[in-house]
Amino acid sequence: MTAVPTHCPYCALQCATTLHQVSRPGAVEVRPREFPTNRGGLCRKGWTAPDVLTVPDRLTVPLVRNAAGELEETSWDDALDFVADRIKALQAAHGRDSVAVFGGGGLTNEKAYALGKFARVALRTPNVDYNGRFCMSSAAAATNRAFGIDRGLPFPLADLGGADAVLLVGSNLAETMPPAVGHLQGARDAGGLLVVDPRRSATASLTDDGNGLHLQPTPGTDLALILALTHVVLQENLSDNVFLGERVDDPDLLVRSTASWWPERAERVTGVPAAMIRRAARVLAAAAPVRGGAGAYILTGRGAEQHSKGTDTVTACINLALALGLPGRIGSGYGCITGQGNGQGGREHGQKADQLPGYRSIEDPAARAFVAGVWGVDADELPRSGKSAVELINSLGTVGGPKALFVHGSNLLVSAPNLASVRDRLSALELLVVADVVPSETALLADVVLPVTQWAEEDGTMTSLEGRVLRRRVAVTAPGDVRSDLAVFAGIAERLGVPGFPTDPAEMFEELRRASAGGKADYSGITWERLDAGEELFWPVPAEGHPGTPRLFADGFATPDGRAHVVPVDHRPVADDLQGEAPLYLVTGRLLQHYQSGAQTRRVPELAEAEPEVFAEVHPRVAAQLGIGDGRPVRLRTARGSMVLPVRITPDVRPDTVFVPFHFGGSEAVNELTNDALDPVSRMPEFKACAVQLTAAELG
Ligand code: SF4
């Protein structure tokens, strides 16, 4: 190996890197590579990603739990025989639905595709979903119903650079995707960076020098804030009425649904001053093309989406974008900032309960017939839509629920809400199989642990937050007896009497692109050869000579009538709102040094040293009321449980808010406290706000 071009293993920015061999076996050195999203930059996580390849507790051989309850090394054949025999016995006794599969938004496109096919064709179960349900599902649901399609950013990220204003709702880009901050410079220079966040995050603090505004609402009220921004735009006649007339189905609905959200009313709900709401609306409108501005973007992140009204909050953002005439215009638009590395591709290829490859609905007869044809099965035999992630987890081990679960690329015992319930459900299973790179919290509970390859050890494709399909390349040999998830699916499927699952990523991609042909996320024109030759194509790519589609909606939206659809929405309180005994809001979020459940980054010495443990950010006034100093312990208690954490006292959180990062496991896992109430449309759980009680405590 000399220099292998690939991409960072972590977030959906998919920063470009080259990997260089070093003398240590299995190790590489990483260098950033010029690419439009990262422009030669990497964050600290990307720079240290090679450390994950050689962590001391790397899983290298299959493990099966023995009679004494300990995980014991075994051969691949014995592990796969054991799993297949248990699946056969469980399905014979309890039916096909007694087995479930849970995937992840970090899996390559080929693995995500294979996982969905494995569930539907080899296991023939409807019980399949993935952790993307916890991430972008609200934005996906909202964009599907408004635009008829869901591609996180329907434009290249670099387009942001030319805009005069960017409204970020619930996104902390400066910590989650630091190289992306450079794309906000145009808006910052124009004084148009608008950040909605109940916490003064690193991103919100970018507005400190007069580059924009930080709107700091009460947790769970950003929907009301967006309705008020739209109200101002419409009432002050700042809207793009030509766009509304030509490209939107029902502009009057937009007016009616925001008429009662004058800024003073919104101030009472959100705490954001009415004058600031008016100012933000005018800054955003001035940047819109209809007012002669250079362009404006509205972007949402998990802070807006991880609520029991997340779909409606994103819908409100889309409605605001429609009022300003932004979507489908070069240099303007609405987009969702996808988080997980392949969060975009992960939701396109069929590992979601209600979807088939190509981002097709599993309930659509034509889609079922087409995909069944590619898979060589009878469409009538394909399972129907299954349960969403939380509902699937809650059904595990119950009467009539799944008795066995495969987990690939997900660490449920850190990342799912209401962990005590998750632990109970996983413990009630008769068979838990976890394929992972390291002994994650979830793997340690498993009956069978299968060691699988990770980023630099495998070929594959990933789809970035822009919908750009990228090549991941192998640079080192995996240690020990590690195999790809593709080999796991193939090995078990064969033992279940369903041969023919490719183990070669190129072969699997070839099948994937055929299965996607004609779907919303059409990869049919993307060949392995094109990717190998260095092309990085935005889907849809409906033919082999097609150049890809960097910008969507220029000629119409993907709805039956070609117009964007207004869905009227209204504010409602968080599901677990403040009560007398729980008078504060618990808000969770991310840190610069860690990624998702932290299973990888907590094992990187430099990152672990920089942020070694969980903490609770508390406002100085609250700390004074409790009589506690910085670093002292507090007990957080919600309706789900309680935990003791050290305090960081900071004015960056509101006096009614406690912030805790969610990257930590075991007794440090804040998802012990979070609420699993679901959004009725997307089935997203309400990670981002619940009532919490705070008391002084003793550590340990
Ligand atoms: Fe880039 Fe994200 Fe990797 Fe950081 S974690 S280097 S922002 S892809």
Give me the pLDDT at residue 567, please. 98
- 144 and 192 inside one domain: yes
Residue 15 Cβ inside 6 Å of ligand 1? The answer reads yes
pLDDT top residue among 677 and 210: 677
- 43 and 171 inside one domain: no
The CA distance from 618 to 408, in Å, is 36
In tens, the pLDDT along 161-172 reads: 999 999 999 999
In tens, the pLDDT along 176-186 reads: 999 999 999 99
480 C-alpha to ligand 1 centroid (Å): 28
Any idea which residue has 């860690």 for tokens? Answer: 594
Give me the pLDDT at residue 700, please. 52
181 C-alpha to ligand 1 centroid (Å): 12
Residue 43 Cβ inside 6 Å of ligand 1? The answer reads yes
Residue 392 zone, left/alpha/beta (φ > 0; ψ -120 to 50; rest): alpha
Say which DSSP state 159 is in. G
- 533 and 412 inside one domain: yes
Is residue 622 in some structural domain? yes
| Number of separate domains in the chain | 4
The CA distance from 146 to 247, in Å, is 12
Give me the pLDDT at residue 699, please. 57
CATH of residue 71? 3.40.50.740
pLDDT above 90 covers a percentage of the chain that reads 96
- 532 and 633 inside one domain: no
What range defines the domain where residue 48 resides?
A: 3-54
177 C-alpha to ligand 1 centroid (Å): 6
Residue 465 Cβ inside 6 Å of ligand 1? The answer reads no
Is residue 559 in some structural domain? no
> Do residues 402 and 96 make contact, with C-beta atoms less than 8 angstroms apart?
no
Quick count: other Cβ atoms within 10 Å of Cβ 656?
A: 16
Give me the pLDDT at residue 1, please. 56
Q: Please, what is the Cα angle at 642 between 637 and 645, to 5 degrees?
A: 95
Give me the pLDDT at residue 579, please. 87
Write down the pTM of the prediction: 0.97
212 C-alpha to ligand 1 centroid (Å): 25
Burial state string for 19-53 with b = 16 or more CB within 10 A and e = fewer than 16: beeeeeebebebebbebbbbbebbbbbbbbbbbbb
Structure confidence at residue 285 as a pLDDT band (50, 70, 90): very high
Is residue 252 in some structural domain? yes
* pLDDT average, residue stretch 280-296: 97
Is residue 515 in some structural domain? yes
Q: Which of 538, 566, 596 is a domain's end point?
A: 538
Q: Which of 538, 568, 598 is a domain's end point?
A: 538
* Coil vs helix vs strand at 365: helix
Give me the pLDDT at residue 135, please. 87
- 639 and 673 inside one domain: yes
- 236 and 379 inside one domain: no
- 442 and 512 inside one domain: yes
Q: Which of 312, 336, 360 is a domain's end point?
A: 336
Is residue 69 in some structural domain? yes
- 437 and 533 inside one domain: yes
Residue 42 Cβ inside 6 Å of ligand 1? The answer reads yes
* pLDDT average, residue stretch 217-243: 98
- 364 and 225 inside one domain: no
Interstrand relation of 28-32 and 16-21 (parallel, antiparallel or unpaired): antiparallel
Q: What is the CA radius of gyration of the chain?
A: 24
Residue 604 Cβ inside 6 Å of ligand 1? The answer reads no
* pLDDT average, residue stretch 550-579: 96
Is residue 670 in some structural domain? yes
- Does 329 score more than 60 pLDDT? yes
- 218 and 325 inside one domain: yes
**Atom in ligand 1 nearest the alpha carbon of residue 341:** 8
Q: Measuring from atom 2 of ligand 1, which residue has the nearest CA?
A: 11
The whole-chain average pLDDT of the chain stands at 96
CATH of residue 151? 3.40.228.10
Structure confidence at residue 581 as a pLDDT band (50, 70, 90): confident
- 369 and 309 inside one domain: no
Is residue 543 in some structural domain? no
> Do residues 59 and 622 make contact, with C-beta atoms less than 8 angstroms apart?
no
Is residue 572 in some structural domain? no
- Which residues share a beta bridge with 436? 451
- 325 and 370 inside one domain: no
**Atom in ligand 1 nearest the alpha carbon of residue 180:** 7
CATH of residue 600? 2.40.40.20
pLDDT above 70 covers a percentage of the chain that reads 100
600 C-alpha to ligand 1 centroid (Å): 13
- Does 611 score more than 60 pLDDT? yes
293 C-alpha to ligand 1 centroid (Å): 31
Q: Measuring from atom 7 of ligand 1, which residue has the nearest CA?
A: 177
At 490, which amino acid appears?
A: A
Give me the pLDDT at residue 2, please. 78
- Does 559 score more than 70 pLDDT? yes
